[in-house]
A and B are shown apart, each in its own frame.
Chain A
Amino acid sequence: MIKIQIDGREREVAEGITILDALKNEGIEVPTMCFLENTEHFPTCMVCMVKDQKSNKFVPSCSTLVASGMDIISNDEEVVEARRTSLELLLSDHVGDCEAPCQTNCPAFMDIPLMNRLLAMGKFDEALRVVKKDIALPAVLGRICPAPCERACRRRNIDEPVSICTLKRYAADHDLNHQSSFLPEKEALNGKKIGIIGTGPAGLSAAYFLLQKGYQCTLYDKNPLAGGALRYAVPDDRLPKDVLDQEIALIEQLGAVFKMNQELPENALETLRKDFDGIIVATGEDNADFDGLKKKNRSFVTERNTHKTGIDGVLAIGSAIKPGRVAIRAVAHGKEAALAMDQYLSGAKIVGEVRMFNSRFGKMIQEEYQDFMMEADKGPRIETEGVKGFSLEEVKKEALRCMHCDCREMHNCKLRIYSDQYKANQKRFFPKERAPVRKIFKNKPVVYEPEKCIKCGICVKITTIHKEELGLTYIGKGFDVEVSVPFDSSRVNALEKTTILCAEKCPTGALALKEKD
Chain B
Amino acid sequence: MSEEQNITLKEIIQVQGQSRKSVIPILQAIQEKYNYLPENLLKGVCEQTDITPDLIMGVASFYSQFRLQPAGEHIIKVCTGTACHVKGAELVYDAFGRALHLDPGKHTDKEGHYTLEKVNCLGCCTLAPVVQIDDVTYGHVGIEDTNTVIKSFENSHSSSANKLLPAHDATKTLQGEIRIGLGSCCVASGSEEVKNSVEVTVLENELDVNMKGVGCVGMCHQVPLLEIIPEGKEAVLYSKVQPADVKMIINRHFRPQGIWARLKSSVYNWVEDIQTDRSWEGVDQFELDVREKHVSSFLGRQVPIATEYRGAIDPLDIGEYKYRFGFKGIAKCLKEYTPEQVIEKVRESGLRGRGGAGFPTGIKWQTFRDQNSELKYIICNGDEGDPGAFMDRMLLESYPYRIIEGMTIAAYATGATKGYFYIRAEYPLAVKRIREALSIAKEQGYIGDNILNSGLSFDIEIFEGAGAFICGEETAMIASIEGNRGFPKLRPPYPVENGLWNNPTLVNNTETFAQIPFIARNGLDQYTNHGTSNSKGTKVFALAGKINRGGLIEVPMGITIREIIEDIGGGVPDGKKFKAVQIGGPSGGCVPEWLSNTPVDYQSLKEVGAMMGSGGLVVLDDTDCMVDIARYFLSFTQSESCGKCTFCRVGTKRMLDIMNGICSGKGKPKDLVELENLANWTKKGSLCGLGQTAPNPILSTLTYFRDEYEAHIHGKCPTGKCQDLIKYTIEDNCIGCTKCAQNCPVGAIPFAPYEIHVIDQEKCIQCDGCRQVCPEDAVLVK
Contact = CB atoms under 8 A, between A and B. Distances in A.
Contacts of A90: 646, 650
A469 B678 CA distance: 41
Interface stretch (A224-232, A342-350, A472-480): A472-480
Given A431-B657, A479-B641, A486 B58 contact: yes
B54 A464 contact: yes
B372 to A, nearest CB: 19
B633 to A, nearest CB: 15
A481 B639 CA distance: 11
A463 interface: yes
A46 B643 CA distance: 13
A55 to B, nearest CB: 11
B530 to A, nearest CB: 32
A85 interface: yes
B777 interface: no
Contact of B649 (A463, A470, A478): A478
Contact of A471 (B39, B53, B485, B647): B53
A455 interface: yes
B554 to A, nearest CB: 34
A460 interface: yes
Interface string B145-177: 000000000000000000000000000000000
Interface stretch (B135-143, B204-212, B679-687, B739-747): B679-687
Interface in A38-65: 41-47, 49, 57-58, 60, 63-65
A477 B641 contact: yes
Interface in B645-661: 645-647, 649-654, 657
B646 A45 contact: yes
A238 B654 CA distance: 53
Given A82-B685, A474-B485, A46 B53 contact: no
B56 A89 contact: no
A93 B650 contact: yes
A476 B413 CA distance: 40
B754 to A, nearest CB: 47
**For this complex, into which size category does the number of interface residues on chain A fall?**
35 or more
B490 A63 contact: yes
Given A473-B55, A481-B649, A44 B684 contact: no
B61 A89 contact: no
Nearest to A94: B650
B646 A486 contact: no
A274 B565 CA distance: 89
Contacts of B657: 429, 431
Given A473-B54, A486-B53, A487-B57, A43 B645 contact: yes
A212 interface: no
B642 interface: yes
B650 A429 contact: yes
A358 interface: no
Contact of B647 (A63, A89, A457): A89
Given A431-B657, A460-B54, A486-B57, A477 B485 contact: yes
A478 B490 contact: no
B61 A476 contact: yes
A292 B608 CA distance: 66
Given A43-B645, A44-B645, A58 B650 contact: no
A67 B53 CA distance: 39
Nearest to A65: B492
A92 interface: yes
Contacts of B485: 474, 477
A487 B57 CA distance: 7
B642 A478 contact: yes
A469 B55 CA distance: 11
A454 B646 CA distance: 8
A86 interface: yes
Given A82-B684, A477-B643, A455 B490 contact: no
A288 to B, nearest CB: 49
Interface in A63-84: 63-65, 67, 81-82
Contact of A487 (B43, B468, B647, B653): B43
B381 interface: no
Nearest to B644: A44
Contacts of B649: 455, 478-479, 481
Given A487-B42, A487-B43, A475 B646 contact: no
Contacts of A457: 644
Contacts of B647: 46, 85-86, 89
Nearest to B643: A481
Contact of B643 (A60, A92, A455): A455
B640 interface: yes
Interface in A422-461: 429, 431, 454-455, 457, 460
Interface in B616-646: 638-646
Nearest to A472: B54
Interface in A225-257: none
B61 A478 contact: no
B427 interface: no
Contact of B646 (A63, A67, A86, A469): A86
B658 to A, nearest CB: 9
Nearest to B680: A85
Interface in B672-724: 678, 681, 684-685, 687
Contacts of B687: 43, 46, 60
B62 interface: yes
A468 B54 CA distance: 9
A442 B537 CA distance: 61
A85 B681 contact: yes
A44 B642 CA distance: 11
B31 interface: no
Interface in A467-517: 468-481, 486-487
Interface string B44-59: 0000000011111110
Contacts of A460: 54
Contacts of A472: 54
B490 A46 contact: no
A334 to B, nearest CB: 41
Given A472-B54, A486-B53, A477 B638 contact: no
Contact of B654 (A429, A464, A487): A429
Contacts of A44: 644-646
Given A455-B649, A487-B39, A487-B43, A43 B490 contact: yes
Contacts of A58: 684-685
Contacts of A46: 645-647, 685, 687
Given A43-B490, A486-B56, A89 B651 contact: yes
Interface string A21-49: 00000000000000000000111111101
A54 to B, nearest CB: 14
A423 B652 CA distance: 22
Contacts of B54: 460, 463-464, 468, 470-473, 486
Interface string A86-127: 100110110000000000000000000000000000000000
Contact of A49 (B52, B53, B685): B685
Contacts of B654: 89, 92, 429, 431
Given A63-B490, A89-B654, A93-B650, A478 B52 contact: no
A218 to B, nearest CB: 54
Nearest to A43: B490
Given A43-B687, A89-B647, A479-B638, A60 B490 contact: yes
A27 to B, nearest CB: 25
4 smallest CB-CB distances across A and B, nearest first, come from: A486-B57, A481-B643, A473-B54, A486-B53
Given A46-B685, A92-B650, A486-B57, 8 more contacts: A65-B492, A85-B647, A89-B651, A429-B650, A457-B644, A478-B653, A486-B56, A487-B39
14 contacts: A43-B645, A45-B646, A46-B645, A64-B490, A89-B646, A90-B650, A470-B54, A474-B61, A476-B61, A478-B641, A478-B643, A479-B653, A486-B58, A487-B39
Interface of B: 39, 42-43, 52-58, 61-62, 468, 485, 487, 490, 492, 638-647, 649-654, 657, 678, 681, 684-685, 687
